[in-house]
Chain A
Amino acid sequence: MWLFKSSVGRKVVMSVTGLFLILFLTFHALMNAVAIFSVEAYEAVCEFLGANWYALLGTAVLAAGFVIHIIYAFWLTLQNRSARGDDRYAVTARPKNVEWASQNMLVLGIIVACFLVLHLYQFWAKMQLPEIMGDYAASGEEALELAFGCWWTLPVYLIGFLAVWFHITHGFWSAFQSIGVNNDKWIERWKCIGCWWATIVMLLFAVCAIALTLKYAGGYDCIGAC
């Protein structure tokens, strides 16, 4: 199957899963924004996305997207390192117009993945997971209070957001390049759109995190947050 046997195919998989994750992040940011305006509305969203069949299906598809993206990332990196060979250059210079993020996608991705584990622990493991298991599931507000009442949640989240921002500024246009939807005109356009997209979505996340921290600050000790 060319999607894993050929280099272009492997990149198509990275591209499609990556675009899917960007789309997910966008919806996620919009739903978060609801929490700043009205806790009731946020609870309604949480209720809607409880452990219904469509929410579970969505979660499964999303998880698959993450897992495939991550597995392919390591696989591609290993192949690329061996293609490079064991001898490294003594002197290297990054040519201008080569983005820093583009050469550090794996490291950025690993930071994002670590952040994701914490995030899943703070929310998913307290909300959807217990509901599936039939245990007591925290409400949206309880989970928010628990997480953002702790002092270190905000700085850790902001670092995570920054890593995601860098990852998307390259990933966005790169995804279109990999599926061949690019040319001399569009390359700069995709880069520009990607940069704006990443900035708006990540700012939305950051604003939510800051607002929620201000709201719940000092509410819980950090042992309670975890």
Chain B
Amino acid sequence: MENSISVKLKIWRQAGPKEKGEFVTYELQDIPTDTSFLETLDILNEQLVERGEEPVAFDHDCREGICGMCSLYINGHPHGPATGATTCQLYMRRFKDGETITVEPWRSAAFPVIKDLMVDRNAFDKIQQAGGYVSFNTGGAQDANAIPISKVAADEAMDSASCIGCGACVAACKNGSAMLFVSAKVSQFALLPQGKAEAKKRVKAMLQKMDELGFGNCTNTGACAAECPKNIKLSNIARLNREYISAKCSD
């Protein structure tokens, strides 16, 4: 059975990086509850274009929870009130009829606003470029059982690798720390033999880049893991600390 709701969207509008932003409230009537949140913004933008107003700029791409492009801080939660889901996987049935929904961009010094709800997440690419890869040629795919890897390690590496680099962890963190992201990227290699060869170099380079870019110091509040759409676990941060400390001690 399909229901429709009317909502007020209180959206952060900011013309450019240096411009002063403000909230503008828009009313939307009869939105089917099966509409996704991003589709609701599309509907709003159509109306704005028809009225000759500037549409709301927001990031999106795959709209199926795999690319990490969508963002939005909705009613106090990155990716909205649903857990383990991205904004593109959020549906209007989560909201009540007549509700005012506050939509803000990620707010962190390392993620400056480009326009409206769009922020510049280039800092994550820079961290990845600092070491989030295996630099040697691994040749053709190995025989499946040529290099034994325990099921536990394989599963954990796979879980860590599910980070989509959306930046919700930074947005959720009161310290603007990127530790959950970096720890996921370090862990996915640290757990596997292919990644071990460069483990020390990698963790030092990525962490140094992270600090350099102005992300905060982790104080273990755990807001990142609670809000991460891919349920990346806090134990990754402990692993990152461990890898870094042992790399530094063996210098």
Chain A interface residues (CB < 8 Å from chain B) = 2, 5-12, 76, 79-80, 82-99, 102-103, 105, 170, 173-174, 176-184, 187
Contacts and interface: CB of A to CB of B under 8 A. Distances in A.
B221 interface: yes
A174 B241 contact: no
28 contacts: A5-B211, A6-B208, A6-B244, A6-B248, A7-B179, A7-B215, A9-B248, A11-B241, A80-B175, A84-B173, A84-B174, A84-B175, A85-B107, A90-B23, A90-B102, A91-B76, A91-B102, A92-B76, A93-B75, A95-B226, A97-B222, A98-B222, A177-B238, A178-B241, A179-B241, A179-B245, A183-B239, A187-B238
Given A80-B217, A180-B245, A6 B211 contact: yes
Nearest to A94: B223
B108 to A, nearest CB: 6
A180 B175 contact: no
Given A105-B219, A177-B241, A83 B108 contact: yes
- Among A11, A76, A91, A181: residue with most chain B CB under 10 A: A91
Contact of A95 (B179, B220, B223, B245): B223
A178 B174 contact: no
Contacts, number: 146
B32 interface: no
Interface in B209-232: 210-211, 214-223, 226-227
A96 B242 CA distance: 27
A103 B226 CA distance: 14
A19 to B, nearest CB: 14
B246 to A, nearest CB: 8
Contacts of B177: 7, 80, 83
B211 A178 contact: no
A84 to B, nearest CB: 4
Contacts of A10: 217
A82 B220 contact: no
Interface of B: 10, 21, 23, 73, 75-77, 102, 104, 107-110, 172-177, 179, 207-208, 210-211, 214-223, 226-227, 233-235, 237-246, 248
Contact of A7 (B207, B221, B222, B227): B207
A166 to B, nearest CB: 14
Nearest to A185: B235
B237 A84 contact: no
A176 B239 CA distance: 11
A176 B235 CA distance: 11
Contacts of B73: 89, 91
